[in-house]
């Protein structure tokens, strides 16, 4: 089966063609991502209305290129998968309407995919990881530890009580004048930094609650930066290095609890996978901290290639393929986008719930 996947939930306009063979093997035939960097850079962050308009302008060209790169036409496609949430509603509407039009025109089934499920299942596309596995999902909007039991079966073990990890990277970058997008800029700056010059306490270290928190670290960094101002390039590099050190120690501490919890819940699995996903999974320091935790606890570490860490259409196509292969029904053409859509509908919301459902 060959699916087209479309992703427009934030600031990447993305489309991809992915094949899944009957034995469950996946291959990415094309993966086109237009990151809206030029559009948002003047504002230092993603502006939802500008993102939605940029998706309108770019999406048909991105889809056409994904088809051309894979050397297929719409008539070769067996199904269309599209991100229907969670995310910025304007972008979601653009992607979903585009996918509905293609589904109607081609007569192919439509699969409305949860963006977080796309991230969660990527390791099965790239590495064929078997269920169940332990997932750390760290992106601009989410920081979650999830037990992935099967397609559509997710148990959230932890989330953040304030900022997401990617958000903390982005805010740090903005504060230090490193621009947008922040995560890669902080990582780049930190390479020239001395991680021992400043020390920020790693958030939640040793805390019995399995949760993340990053806003205190952000405040500590701001206070230090204000005390040092004006900042030299070396100051910025050293602050970034100290920030990354604190973040990775915090993630390692939280994950070492999570691996024990997961082991207790699945004592029969020999060498479970610890999987990283989401944009922050591209960070080398976070990756190596996770690698160490996995090695120390008898897990094997799996992280997607960098191109599949951030938002992309391949993960959405793959989630649709996994659903189709299991016989999950496709969606009616009146399916609605969902700005909020928790991966795990069962665990209690941490930020409370509004009219549109759980906030996280």
Contact predicate 192/210, CB 8 Å: no
Q: Which among ligand KG4, Zn ion, none contacts residue 182 (Cβ within 5 to 8 A by kind)?
A: ligand KG4
In the complex, what is the shortest distance from the CB of residue 306 to ligand KG4, in angstroms, rounded to a whole number?
8
Cα separation, 85 vs 93, in Å, equals 9
In the complex, what is the shortest distance from the CB of residue 139 to Zn ion, in angstroms, rounded to a whole number?
4
Residues that bind ligand KG4 (CB under 6 A): 10, 139-141, 166, 169-170, 181-184, 187, 278-280, 282-283, 310-311
In the complex, what is the shortest distance from the CB of residue 310 to Zn ion, in angstroms, rounded to a whole number?
7
> Tokens standing for 181?
């997008």
HEC states along the chain?
CEEEEEECCCCEEEEEEEEECCCCCEEEEEEEEEECHHHHHHHCCCCHHHHHHHHHHHHHHHHHHHHHHCCCCHHHCCEEEEEEECCCHHHHHHHHHHHHHHHHHHCCCEEEEEHHHHHHHHHHHHHCCCCCEEEEEECCCCEEEEEEEECCEEEEEECECCCCHHHHHHHHHHHCCCCCCHHHHHHHHHCCCCCCCCCCCCCCCCCCCCCECCHHHHHHHHHHHHHHCCCCHHHHHHHHHHHHHHHHHHHHHHHHHHHHHHHHHCCCCCCCEEEEECHHHHCHHHHHHHHHHHHHCCCEEECCCHHHCCCCCHHHHHHHHHHHHCCCCCCCCCCCCCCCCCCCCCCCCCCCEECCEECC
Give whichever of 111 and 180 is closer to ligand KG4, judged by the CB atom.
Answer: 180
139 part of the interface to Zn ion, by CB under 5 A: yes
143 part of the interface to Zn ion, by CB under 5 A: no
In the complex, what is the shortest distance from the CB of residue 284 to ligand KG4, in angstroms, rounded to a whole number?
7
Q: Find the part of the chain contacting Zn ion (CB under 5 A) among 227-235, 266-274, 300-308, 311-319.
A: 311-319
Q: Find the part of the chain contacting Zn ion (CB under 5 A) among 53-61, 268-276, 290-298, 309-317.
A: 309-317
In the complex, what is the shortest distance from the CB of residue 283 to ligand KG4, in angstroms, rounded to a whole number?
3
Give whichever of 35 and 335 is closer to ligand KG4, judged by the CB atom.
Answer: 35
Q: Which among Zn ion, ligand KG4, none contacts residue 238 (Cβ within 5 to 8 A by kind)?
A: none
Q: Which among ligand KG4, Zn ion, none contacts residue 169 (Cβ within 5 to 8 A by kind)?
A: ligand KG4
In the complex, what is the shortest distance from the CB of residue 224 to Zn ion, in angstroms, rounded to a whole number?
30
Find where tokens 């999406």 sit. Answer: 59
Give whichever of 19 and 340 is closer to ligand KG4, judged by the CB atom.
Answer: 340
Q: Which among Zn ion, ligand KG4, none contacts residue 95 (Cβ within 5 to 8 A by kind)?
A: none
In the complex, what is the shortest distance from the CB of residue 292 to ligand KG4, in angstroms, rounded to a whole number?
18
In the complex, what is the shortest distance from the CB of residue 327 to ligand KG4, in angstroms, rounded to a whole number?
28
Give whichever of 111 and 299 is closer to Zn ion, judged by the CB atom.
Answer: 111
Sheet holding 133-138, edge to edge: 153-158, 143-150, 133-138, 273-277, 300-302
311 part of the interface to Zn ion, by CB under 5 A: yes
Q: Find the part of the chain contacting Zn ion (CB under 5 A) among 99-107, 230-238, 250-258, 304-312.
A: 304-312
Give whichever of 79 and 87 is closer to ligand KG4, judged by the CB atom.
Answer: 87
Q: Which of residues 149-178 bind Zn ion (CB under 5 A)?
A: none
Contact predicate 190/164, CB 8 Å: no
Q: Which among Zn ion, ligand KG4, none contacts residue 116 (Cβ within 5 to 8 A by kind)?
A: none
Q: Which residues bind Zn ion (CB under 5 A)?
A: 139, 311
């Amino acid at each position: 089966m060959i699916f087209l996947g479309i992703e427009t939930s934030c600031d990447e306009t993305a489309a991809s063609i992915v094949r899944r063979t009957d034995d469950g093997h996946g291959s990415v035939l094309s993966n086109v991502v237009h990151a809206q960097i030029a559009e948002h850079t003047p504002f230092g962050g993603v502006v939802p209305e500008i993102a939605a308009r940029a998706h309108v302008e770019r999406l048909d060209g991105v889809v056409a290129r994904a088809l051309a790169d894979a050397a297929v036409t719409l008539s070769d496609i067996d199904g269309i998968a599209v991100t229907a949430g969670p995310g910025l509603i304007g972008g979601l509407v653009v992607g979903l309407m585009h996918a509905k039009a293609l589904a109607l025109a081609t007569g192919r089934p439509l699969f409305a995919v949860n963006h977080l499920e796309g991230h969660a299942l990527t390791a099965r596309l790239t590495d064929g990881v078997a269920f169940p596995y332990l997932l750390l999902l760290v992106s601009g909007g989410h920081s979650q530890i999830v037990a992935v039991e099967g397609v559509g079966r997710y148990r959230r073990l932890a989330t953040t009580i304030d900022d997401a990890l990617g958000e903390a990277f982005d805010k740090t970058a903005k504060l230090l004048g490193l621009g947008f997008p922040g995560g890669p800029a902080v990582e780049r700056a930190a390479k020239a930094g001395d991680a021992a010059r400043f020390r920020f306490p790693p958030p939640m270290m040793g805390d019995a609650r399995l949760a993340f928190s990053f806003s205190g670290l952000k405040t500590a960094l701001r206070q230090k930066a204000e005390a040092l101002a004006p900042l030299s390039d070396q100051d910025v590099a050293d602050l970034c290095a100290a920030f990354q050190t604190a973040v990775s120690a915090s993630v390692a501490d939280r994950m070492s609890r999570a691996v024990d919890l997961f082991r207790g819940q699945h004592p029969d699995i020999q060498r479970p996978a610890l999987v990283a996903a989401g944009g922050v999974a591209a960070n080398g320091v976070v990756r190596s901290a996770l690698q160490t935790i996995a090695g120390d606890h008898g897990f094997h570490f799996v992280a997607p290639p960098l191109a599949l860490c951030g938002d992309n259409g391949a993960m959405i196509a793959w989630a649709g393929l996994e659903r189709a292969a299991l016989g999950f029904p496709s969606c009616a053409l009146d399916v609605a986008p969902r700005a909020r859509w928790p991966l795990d509908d069962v665990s209690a919301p941490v930020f409370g719930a509004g009219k549109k459902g759980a906030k996280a």
